[in-house]
Structure 1
Amino acid sequence: MDKKEIKAIIESLLFMWGDPLNLKDISLILEINEEEVRSIIDEMIDEFNYERRGIKIIQIDDSYQMSTRSEHFEWIKKLYNPKSNKTLSSAALETLSIVAYNQPITKNEIEMIRGVRCDKALDTLLEKGIIEEKGRLERTGRPIIYGTTKEFLKYFGLTCLEDLPSLEEFEVDIEEE
């Protein structure tokens, strides 16, 4: 099978699957080693970007997905009527940032950092699939620990958690305040 055919198959797989498709799964389907598949997908990403196509391939951890270009949002929104509110409240965003930078973390630890209860914000984030329960701690009460999901990475356009800006970038000079 030549590279052009492999690219066409990968494009078909990503288009039909819709959700992020793991590199390992693509490799198994094509019966090609993962590094070769990764190299071909990287080449496809470059081609899509160079040609400024209406779709692009995004990487989320070790998975890939087709996506529309953000610069075409104004035209796409004329066609698409969202069924639910996709925005997050400031409380939910604050809670999410605490989870993202401190995961795994318990509800009690989040509330200690925020200084207020976070039940509603956690429920919203869980409902949207941006965070998930990662397990329970082996201590009194067996509190649930939370962490972010692949949906979090997708929602914020990140490849992996290491792409999060460092906390030092958000340091505020007290004298400026």
Structure 2
Amino acid sequence: MSDKNDTTKNSTPPTPEAHGHREEKGSGEPSPTAADKQQQLTLDEQPDEQRPEDGDPAEQRGPAEQGDLHEVRAIIEAILFASDEPLTRETIEASLPDYPETVIKSALENLRFEYSGQHRGIHLAEVAGGYQLRTNPDFKDHILKMYEARPRKLSRAAMETLAIIAYQQPLTRADVEEIRGVDSSGVIRTLEEHDLVQTIGRLDDLGRPHIYGTTERFLEFFSLDSLADLPTLDDTELEAIEEMYAEELAEAEAADKAQQADDDAE
């Protein structure tokens, strides 16, 4: 009897690890106090809101602490709606300095999924290296009826010149005229006025002629993310373009002959 009492007196308090595996005693053993229970709580037994997290504490206390994907998504949606040009991911992230990149990335993916499909009137498109809310092209006729306007169209000469610059850039006006066979200064000027073509430098040669290339507006206009998205022309399409060049060259030569005849008659 005395041995049992001595053992009880000299026993050490149970450790937190042993708390969960201690065999239940008889009713004569005193129940642990509230302080003992608090001491014996392990990390896994603590409530989620009291459990410490890894990472920067300042970030944990920031607006994104609760992983508020819905709020970030709503902010990005408002930013994209307010912008009249595509926004890069860097620009979007700069507008949300209090949120981690992972949350912003998830919000963008969420928005892209929601703003997609034939059933949506607005699409979130990736153009010119950024993101932009754009109308569903399937509904362009309805939009034009609302505005009672016709879309601005480029002439065949302008489209030919634009195609040459897009696929062969950088190049000079002389390079374009060598391919087309006719003067192209007026057409290039028209493309510059439409902000589809721009001067990107000067050639280190006699007269330092302008070097031309396409613009960011060109990518937006044709819904391209980069020049790498330009479609590859097959042999049939190349032949069709060459035929158009030949027809235009013949028309230009005929017009020159007619003008020369009028001048001689005078």
Shorter-chain TM-score tier: 0.7 to 0.9
Distance 1:21-1:160 versus aligned 2 partners, 3 A rule: same
2:209 equivalent to 1:135: no
TM-score normalised according to structure 2 size: 0.60
Q: Provide the C-alpha distance between the structure 2 equivalents of 1:139 and 1:127, rounded to a whole number of angstroms.
A: 26
Alpha-carbon contact 2:72-2:103 (below 8 Å) kept: no
SS in 2 for 1:10: helix
TM superposition shift of 1:101: 0.3
State the Cα distance separating 1:24 from its structure 2 match: 1.2
Which residue matches 1:43? 110
Residue 51 of structure 1 deviates from its aligned partner by 7.8
Q: Which has the higher contact order (CA 8 A, sep 6+)?
A: 1
Matches within 5 A, 1:138-149: 138-149=204-215
1:156 aligns with 2:205: no
Determine if the alignment matches structure 1 residue 68 to structure 2 residue 117. no
Is the 8 Å Cα contact of residues 23 and 34 (structure 1) preserved in structure 2? no
Equivalent position of 2:78 in the other structure: 12
Counterpart of 1:125 (choices 191, 197, 204) is 191
Q: How does 1:107-122 map to 2 (within 5 A)?
A: 107-122=173-188
TM-score when normalising by structure 1: 0.87
- Structure 1 counterpart of 2:91, from 25, 35, 39: 25
Contact 2:69 2:106 in 1 (8 A): no
Which shows bigger deviation, 69-78 or 84-93?
A: 84-93
In structure 2, what is the equivalent of residue 94 of structure 1? 160
Show structure 2 runs of 5+ residues with no match: 1-63, 241-266
Q: What is the CA distance between 1:73 and its match in structure 2?
A: 1.1
Opposite residue 143 of structure 2, the aligned amino acid is I
- Contact 1:18/1:66 (8 A) holds in 2: no
Change (3 A) 1:39 1:131: farther
Q: Distance in 2 between matches of 1:39 and 1:161?
A: 27
Percent identity at matched positions? 38
Structure 1 gaps, min length 5: none
Q: Is the CA contact 1:92–1:121 (under 8 Å) kept in the aligned structure 2?
A: yes
1:99–1:105 contact (8 Å) kept in structure 2: yes
| Higher mean displacement: 62-71 or 97-106 | 62-71
**In the aligned structure 2, how far is the partner of 1:140 from the partner of 1:132?**
21
CA contact (8 A) 1:132 1:148 kept: yes
Corresponding pairs, count: 172
Distance in 1, Cα, partners of 2:176 & 2:110: 42
Following TM superposition, the consecutive aligned residue runs of length 4 or more in structure 1 with deviations greater than 4 angstroms are 32-36
